Structure 1
Amino acid sequence: MNDEASAHVDGCRAPESVYEALRTRIIQHDLEPGARISIAEEAARLGVSQTPVREALHRLEGDDLVVRSASRGYDVTSPIGVEGLRSLFEVRLLLEPWAARQAATDRLSNPAPRLRGELEELSSLHGAGRAVQAQRAAGDQRFHRWIVEATGNHVMAAAFERLHAHVHVFRLYQTDAEGHDTHGEHTAILEAVEACDPEAAEAAMRAHLLGAFSRLSSGLPADAPPLRSTAARARLR
């Protein structure tokens, strides 16, 4: 949702639209980490009452994107740091390679057409500005969501949404600013899913997640140990 679209929220869709508008502003760093959120100001900006803003902030607290204190109200959560990012990707490495494997089947639920459409749209984006980065982040989330949703596992889909919110906070600071490396990795996933090759899809997703962690953590402390995939750790035992 861009600024123009979020400037005034349709009252009949206020709770969901306010949540999406605030979530987008946090992910794009329009609301900086640690910033205080004024319920009255957000309600005025969105053209709604304060009630849907409070409801949205309550949901965002559940997503760990805002924190509440008795004295200050709501603040944007501080960045999760290298340990938090590593923990997040460890969970993704357990979930998403399996999801890619399940999606790479010869069924009507095979998400290849949607994945290809998303990659074509992402290929049309050029530049490394914040607005373009936000569009890439949204497209990246949709690409991964189509794969997760193709599994038919609703618990995984809910977990995915929560995990990816934190990933996209970091996307504005990664080295692959124009998405070239990400596009190549996504293409490998698409081709494996489209070919109904579960093993290749699982391997391509694992390689992509490891590459994404490297790019996202590039601005973090240099002495942070590298992330190892679950399979790699198993070989070391």
Structure 2
Amino acid sequence: MFTIIISVSASALLAIGIYALTYNIWWSLTVAVLGIIAVNFFMGRHFLNKLKELFGNVEKDLRAGRYEKAIERLKEGYKYSNWQFFVKEQINAQIGIILYSTKRLDESVEYLEKGFDKNWLSMSMLAASRYKAKETEKALKTLEAAVKGSPKEGFVYSFYAWMLSGSGNDTKAIEVLNKGVKKCPADEKLEANMEALKNGKKIKMERYGNVWLQLQLTKVPDGAKPYQQFIANQRIKRR
């Protein structure tokens, strides 16, 4: 990443200059470390603000139903990928979500597969795509990764358990839900799904409302809101 290269290079030159003046290796090393931290922080914040502005404009496009414009705008953000880690992956995830939510499922997979593994919604959509394609094992592995990437998001535990139970593995499904309850103690839906499965009943993903409907594994009622309601909950991450 250019940010790291620039911060290391600038700090190294500064440290060499300090050593030439003081002949003190410890001062030079201290300046080098502080320089790397400072340059990386300020450059990182600069590009993070650029990305936040970009995503803010994307949100406006989505709320107005300008999906193609939103995708085009997101692709403009690729230029920042050499400056910050995981930018391209986060953008791919967002594009994949838009395409999937607007029922362009085949197009969405290309982006979802190259997306950010800490984006629970894009990972859930990727798992749903694989499930629809009868690739259940791949779908389960995707959800396993989603749980690891978003351990505080109750939905992915329920979805993972729902798929496990549907594959005849109720025992592991209960284990997943139990882990989810421990990680997300405030999520009453997880607790309800776990109790249902323990009592021989089916997991009700409908408890999650429109989030579940967006995966299009059940019939979506007329009037259900598409992707724009989710964009506000997405966060850009520097690392």
> Same fold by TM-score, threshold 0.5 exceeded?
no
TM-score under structure 2 normalisation?
0.29
Structure label with greater radius of gyration: 2
**More helix per residue: 1 or 2?**
2
